[in-house]
Amino acid sequence: MKFPRNVKILRSQFDAAPFAAVFFLLIVFLLLGAMLPVQGLQLQIQPPAVADLPGLDKPSVAVAVDANGRFYFANQIVNEAQLSSDLSRAAKNSHEPLTLIIHADQTVTYGQLAHLTTIARAAGINNALLATLPRPVEK
């Protein structure tokens, strides 16, 4: 049994203009989507500027303290109990002794920094360093 053929085979030139238009629209939408604001943590810290301090080549863990005395660990606001448990977990998972890097605002008091180092010491982290900005080059 022979079926009738109703489908015509394309015998004209291939037109790429519609495909290019769709491709460029897709690129525009992807670029606009990348520029949308993302909900996240905006932490404003102004560390002091100091010149000629050495860096660190050992494993470290970072904690930030803002001007209001709030602690930030792993890009989240944490209280003292959460910070203590997170630091002790990090110290247990590390093969080498960890160093605590404290990113503190200039207005954070010495007492708050001392309290943070005692929390870290109780968690098993004995070394602590303050993060600073490099001093601007004077012209």
pTM: 0.62
Query: CA angle, 137 as apex, 109 and 130 as ends, to 5°?
Result: 25
Cα 129 to Cα 63: distance, rounded to the nearest angstrom = 11
Collect all residues with Cβ–Cβ distance below 8 Å to 74 and sequence separation of at least 6: 86
Cα 83 to Cα 34: distance, rounded to the nearest angstrom = 33
* 28-66 per-position pLDDT tens digit: 999 998 888 766 666 677 777 777 666 777 888 999 998
* 120-139 per-position pLDDT tens digit: 999 999 989 888 777 776 76
Collect all residues with Cβ–Cβ distance below 8 Å to 92 and sequence separation of at least 6: 124
